[in-house]
């Protein structure tokens, strides 16, 4: 396994994790993209040592073609879902002029009710 | 005959393509999708009977032999899950056609719904870990579209949380797959079954943990459940109903399958699962009590109920797993019925907020009956299906000597009953006139919901059927659980060695 590619995977995963934790959907999209690349790179690494020829012909010591097939499938899926996420971000921008992921409305309602209860107790002698 | 088990995956996909071609005619779309799901239901029921009689069925897609090609396996567990899901998918579709809300306003509803059905079926039938990932994606991508179909502000907000968390889980799943392939050189579940035991201990633990986290997010286990009550209630009622009934249960199915088949016997984390199960039950039910909206109360209940299923798995006995399976069957049907009833409540009162509805019991007694039946069943009151399922789990827990988790599960049942009475008192009892004297019941806004009531009624009757047929069903579950705890049989059927 190539050390450089392993390091690449680590960097992609760490940057992706950081970006996914942001509140803006545009950053989350990029974060998800990076994480997806990291996972796909890891699948490719599973094919074994570098330097072996691709799976063409019938003789010799080939690199394992299965991880490449898996990675290809995964790339297509990640691509499609990322496009959907972008469409969602655009729709969010059209509706609210913002792409920030908001808190749950109902949760905020219950939290504010709790606060109100607490301030009631505070005013009671 | 074995290749017939590919039909529940293939038929809905063909149906979806046909529906896209028929985009102009809604009635043709309806005909195609209802016919497709009826056929799938028939095949699935036939599969349950046939698999139970003649044993596990295996087919290799494209004729590639087992460890390399995509394997489809229908054992008792998978066949039963498939049959129950097919029935629920069909009934919810009928309900959606009756409601004409999401279904009538959007060309894409039928194709996407059928793709979702194909994804669910494929998740149950697959014998290949990577194909499980693909099935999840097919199912989830369809669900992303369904949950945001209306494009309203609330749906977009909820959809974002749902899509991002699901994507994260999928990426983790892909990572787990990469690690699995690196370590073992295979992603076929039967092939993996023997090989994971040979791996070094640290790697086994990491893999096991990754898989539990991935499937735990999908199944909404504590502490990975936050996205569920947040996103489910905003979708149109039929969509929420089918999500509530099926999607999390696909996660539970994957947890049970991976824990029994992939993880070697010595590594089974029974105690951890039992602790997680107890916390999931408690947190879910407390969340439900604090909510004031019908759909949100029910959404938190999904979380709570997942705990019961994981409790059955955590025992790792035949009785425990049989109880879990019976519980899943009961839960899928009852939960879907409750969400469909919630949709009917919203239909009659224009809202699901408990403060703004009331007095339905006197004006619409049928609807009240349709709610009361599954609600009592969910709480585990005899003689309904919930009682049978909970009894099976509790007695399995007592046999295994896990008294703490049994006690917690009984307490949670009481709280479940309490939160159901909250909905009952808020929506069904009381005055049907608001504070200002306006009528809270807006009947016939979109015509009489006769078809909707019929679809809900069929599922409610089915849940009584589970209670009546609980004897044979439990014996079937025991046989399925026995299969699950002897993974060598599964491996034998798939690999032939």
Residue A45: predicted pLDDT? 84
For an interface test with A, give the residue of B149, B181, B356 to mutate (most A CBs within 10 A): B181
CA distance A51 to chain B (A): 17
Q: Please, are residues B282 and B291 in contact by the beta-carbon 8 Å criterion? A: no
User: B17-31, B268-282, B420-434: lowest mean pLDDT where?
Assistant: B420-434
What would the pLDDT profile of A63-74 be if each residue is shown by its tens digit? 778 888 888 999
pLDDT greater than 70 at residue B445: no
> Is residue A124 over pLDDT 50?
no
CB-based contact A70 B296, cutoff 8 Å? no
A107 vs B contacts (CB less than 8 Å): 230
Measured between CB atoms, does A74 come within 8 Å of chain B?
yes
Q: What is the pLDDT of residue B469?
A: 87
Q: Kindly state whether A76 is in contact with chain B, defined as any CB-CB distance less than 8 angstroms.
A: no
Q: Does B177 touch chain A (CB under 8 A)?
A: yes
Q: What's the CATH number for A3-123? A: 1.10.287.3510
Does residue B293 sit at the A interface (CB-CB below 8 Å)? Answer: yes
Q: Do A32 and B171 touch (CB under 8 A)?
A: yes
Q: What is the DSSP letter of B265?
A: G
So where are chain A's domains?
A: 3-123
* Residue-level pLDDT at A125: 40
Average pLDDT over residues B280-292: 88
On whether any CB of chain A is under 8 Å from the CB of B171, the answer is: yes
Collapsed DSSP state (helix, strand, coil) of residue B350: coil
User: How far is residue B82 CA from its own chain's centroid?
Assistant: 11
* Gap between the Cα atoms of B459 and B333, Å rounded: 6
> With an 8 Å Cβ cutoff, is A108 touching chain B?
no
Q: How far is CA A39 from the centre of its chain?
A: 10
CB B136 within 8 A of CB B218: yes
Given a cut of 50, whether residue B446 has pLDDT beyond it is no
| Contact yes or no for A74 and B182 at CB 8 A | no
Alpha-carbon gap: B283 to the closest alpha carbon of chain A (Å): 15
pLDDT the model gives residue A101: 67
Where is average pLDDT lowest: B26-30, B248-252, B283-287, B440-444?
Answer: B440-444
CA distance B201 to chain A (A): 20
Q: Looking at the predicted structure, is the pLDDT value of residue A81 above 80? A: yes
Q: Tell me what pLDDT residue B447 has.
A: 46
Residue B133: predicted pLDDT: 92
Exposed e or buried b for every residue in B87-126, given b needs 16+ CB within 10 A? bbbbbbbbbbbbbebbbeebebbbbbbbbbbbbbbbbbbb
* Min distance B168 CA to chain A CA atoms (Å): 7
Q: Could you please report the per-residue DSSP string of B431-496?
A: -SB-TTS-BS--TTBTB--HHHHHHHHHHHHHHHHHHHTHHHHHHHHHHHHHHHH-HHHHHHHHH-
Segment A17-26, tens digit of pLDDT: 999 888 888 8
pLDDT of residue B364: 76
Residue of A nearest to B181 (CA): A46
Query: Which one of A71, A82, A91, A97 makes the best mutation probe of the B interface by having the most chain B beta carbons within 10 Å?
Result: A91
Helices B109-125/B76-99 angle, 10° precision: 170
Q: Return the pLDDT at B373.
A: 87
Q: Is the pLDDT of residue A54 over 80?
A: no
Chain mean position to CA A125: 52
Confidence of residue B295 (pLDDT cuts 50, 70, 90): confident
Is B174 in CB contact (< 8 Å) with chain A? yes
How many H-runs (helices) and E-runs (strands) does chain A carry? Answer: 4, 0
B182:A45 CB<8 A: yes
Q: Which residues of A touch B160 (CB under 8 A)?
A: 25, 88, 92, 101
Which CA distances in Å does B9 have to A72, B76, B144, B318, B352? 22, 17, 19, 30, 35
**C-alpha distance from A103 to closest chain B C-alpha (Å):** 9
For the stretch B44-78, pLDDT in tens is 999 999 888 888 888 887 777 777 778 888 888 99
In angstroms, what CA-CA distances link B453 with A6, B238, B352, B365, B412? Answer: 57, 12, 17, 12, 30
First-to-last CA distance in chain A? 71
Residues of B with Cβ-Cβ distance to A40 under 8 angstroms: 174
Any CB–CB contact under 8 A between A45 and chain B?
A: yes
Helix (H, G, I), strand (E, B) or coil at B61: strand
Going by C-alpha positions, the residue among B52, B125, B53 that lies closest to residue B82 is B125
pLDDT at B438: 62
Q: Which residue of chain B is at minimal alpha-carbon distance from A89?
A: B160
Q: Of B8-12, B153-157, B343-347, where does the model show the most confidence? A: B8-12
Averaged pLDDT for residues A106-122: 65
pLDDT for residue A66: 83
Strands B57-61 and B70-74: antiparallel
Instruction: Show the CA angle centred on residue B200, arms to residues B123 and A42, nearest 5°.
Output: 55
Give the Cβ contact number of residue B7 at 10 Å: 17
| CA–CA distances in Å: residue B360 to residues A103, B331, B365, B439 | 32, 25, 7, 11
For residue B481, is pLDDT > 60?
Answer: yes
Beta-carbon contacts of B446 under 8 Å, excluding residues fewer than 6 positions away, are: B99, B100, B101, B347
List the structure tokens of A32.
């998800």
Cβ partners under 8 Å of residue B301, min gap 6:
B284, B285, B288, B335, B338, B378, B416, B419
For chain A, say whether B187 makes contact (Cβ under 8 Å): yes
Nearest residue of chain B to residue A102 (CA atoms): B157
- Give the residue, B15 or B105, on which the prediction is more confident: B15
* Confidence tier at B439 by pLDDT (50, 70, 90): low
Using alpha carbons, select from B37, B29, B44, B34 the residue that is nearest to residue B12: B37
d(CA B342, CA B374): 12
Q: Residue B448: its pLDDT value, please?
A: 52
What share of chain B in percent tops pLDDT 70?
A: 94
Picking from B175, B187, B290, the nearest residue to A42 by CB comes out as: B175
CB proximity A39 to B under 8 Å: yes
Distance from CA of A55 to the nearest CA of B (A): 15
Write out pLDDT tens, residues A7-17.
999 999 999 99
Q: Is pLDDT larger for residue B134 or for residue A60?
A: B134
pLDDT band at residue A57 under the 50/70/90 scheme: low
Q: Tell me the ipTM for this assembly.
A: 0.84
Average pLDDT over residues B22-43: 88
CB atoms B171 and A46 under 8 Å: no
Q: What angle do CA B342, B42, B374 make, to 5 degrees?
A: 25
Of A20, A81, A101, the CB nearest to B161: A101
What is the structure's pLDDT at B39? 92
Q: Does B181 contact A66 at a Cβ distance shorter than 8 Å?
A: yes
Residue pairs between chains A and B whose CB atoms are closer than 8 Å:
100
CA distance A82 to chain B (A): 9
B269 three-state secondary structure:
coil
Most confident of B94-103, B344-353, B410-419: B410-419
Question: Whole-model pTM?
Answer: 0.90
Q: Residues B327, B487: contact at Cβ < 8 Å?
A: no
* SS3 category, B317: coil
Strand partners, B353: B293
Does the bond joining A74 to the residue before it have cis omega, within 30 degrees of 0?
Answer: no
Instruction: Provide the sign of the torsion angle of the four alpha carbons B54, B246, B278, B487, taken in this order.
Output: positive
Q: What is the spatial distance between Cα B410 and Cα B394, in angstroms, rounded to a whole number?
A: 8
In Å, what is the CA distance from B179 to each residue of B174, B184, B372?
9, 8, 48
Mean pLDDT of chain B: 85
Q: Do B164 and A95 lie within an 8 Å CB cutoff?
A: no
Per-residue pLDDT, averaged over A71-100, amounts to 85
Nearest-neighbour CA in chain A from B81: distance (Å): 26
Residue to substitute from A42, A110, A113, interface B, most B β-carbons within 10 A:
A42
> By the CB < 8 Å criterion, does B115 face chain A?
no
Q: Which residues of B touch A110 (CB under 8 A)?
A: 290-291
Report yes or no: A31 at the B interface, CB cutoff 8 Å.
no
B148 and A92: CB-CB below 8 Å? no
Interface contact A88, partner B, CB < 8 A: yes
Helices (H), B316-384: 318-349, 360-363, 365-379
Q: Do A91 and B134 touch (CB under 8 A)?
A: no
pLDDT of residue B82: 92
In whole angstroms, give the CA distance from residue B246 to residue B227.
Answer: 16
Q: Which tens digit of pLDDT belongs to each residue from B221-238?
A: 888 888 888 888 888 888
């Amino acid at each position: 396994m190539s050390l450089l590619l392993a390091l690449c995977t680590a960097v992609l995963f760490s940057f992706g994790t950081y970006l996914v934790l942001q509140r803006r959907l545009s950053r989350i999209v990029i974060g998800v993209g990076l994480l997806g690349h990291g996972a796909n790179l890891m699948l490719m690494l599973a094919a074994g040592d570098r330097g072996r020829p691709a799976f063409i012909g019938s003789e010799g010591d080939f690199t394992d073609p299965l991880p490449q097939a898996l990675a290809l499938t995964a790339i297509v899926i990640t691509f499609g879902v990322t496009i959907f996420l972008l469409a969602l971000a655009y729709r969010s921008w059209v509706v609210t002029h913002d792409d920030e992921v908001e808190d749950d409305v109902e949760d905020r309602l219950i939290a504010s009710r709790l606060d109100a209860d607490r301030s009631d107790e505070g005013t009671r002698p | 005959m074995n290749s017939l088990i590919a039909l529940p995956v293939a038929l809905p996909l063909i149906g979806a393509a046909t529906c896209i071609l028929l985009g102009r005619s809604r009635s043709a779309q309806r005909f195609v999708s209802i016919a497709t799901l009826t056929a799938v239901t028939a095949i699935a029921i036939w599969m349950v009977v046939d698999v139970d009689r003649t044993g596990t069925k295996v087919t290799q897609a494209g004729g590639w032999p087992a460890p390399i090609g995509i394997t489809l396996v229908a054992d008792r567990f998978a066949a039963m899950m498939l049959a129950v899901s097919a029935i629920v998918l069909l009934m919810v579709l009928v309900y959606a056609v009756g409601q004409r809300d999401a279904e009538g306003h959007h060309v894409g509803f039928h194709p996407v719904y059928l793709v979702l059905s194909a994804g669910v079926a494929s998740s149950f039938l697959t014998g290949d870990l990577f194909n499980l990932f693909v099935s999840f994606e097919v199912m989830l991508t369809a669900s992303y579209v369904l949950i945001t179909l209306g494009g309203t502000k609330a749906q977009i907000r909820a959809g974002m949380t749902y899509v991002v968390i699901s994507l994260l889980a999928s990426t983790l799943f892909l990572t787990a797959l990469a690690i699995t392939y690196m370590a073992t050189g295979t992603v076929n579940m039967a092939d993996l079954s023997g090989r994971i035991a040979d791996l070094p201990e640290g790697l086994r633990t990491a893999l096991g943990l990754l898989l539990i986290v991935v499937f735990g997010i999908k199944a909404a286990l504590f502490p990975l459940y936050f996205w569920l009550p947040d996103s489910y209630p905003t979708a149109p009622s039929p969509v929420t109903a089918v999500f509530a009934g099926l999607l999390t249960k696909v996660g539970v199915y994957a947890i049970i399958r991976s824990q029994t088949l992939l993880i070697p016997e010595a590594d089974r984390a029974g105690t951890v699962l039992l602790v997680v199960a107890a916390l999931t039950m408690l947190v879910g039910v407390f969340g439900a009590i604090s909510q004031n909206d019908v759909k949100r109360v029910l959404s938190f209940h999904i979380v709570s109920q997942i705990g019961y299923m994981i409790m059955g798995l955590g025992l790792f006995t035949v009785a425990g797993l049989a109880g879990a399976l019976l519980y899943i069957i009961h839960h899928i049907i009852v939960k879907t019925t409750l969400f469909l009833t919630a949709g009917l409540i919203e239909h009659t009162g224009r809202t699901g907020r408990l403060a703004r509805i009331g007095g339905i019991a006197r004006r619409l007694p049928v609807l009240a009956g349709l709610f009361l039946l599954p609600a009592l069943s969910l709480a585990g009151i005899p003689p309904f299906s919930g009682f049978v399922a909970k009894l099976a789990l509790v007695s399995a827990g007592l046999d295994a000597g896990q008294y703490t988790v049994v006690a917690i599960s009984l307490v949670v049942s009481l709280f479940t009953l309490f939160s159901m009475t909250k909905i009952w008192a808020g929506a069904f009892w009381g005055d049907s006139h608001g504070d200002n004297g306006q009528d809270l019941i807006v009947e016939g806004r979109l015509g009489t919901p006769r078809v909707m009531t019929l679809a809900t009624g069929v599922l409610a009757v089915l849940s009584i059927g589970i209670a009546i047929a609980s004897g044979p069903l439990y014996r079937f579950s025991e046989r399925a659980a026995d299969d699950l705890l002897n993974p060598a049989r599964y491996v034998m059927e798939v690999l032939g060695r």
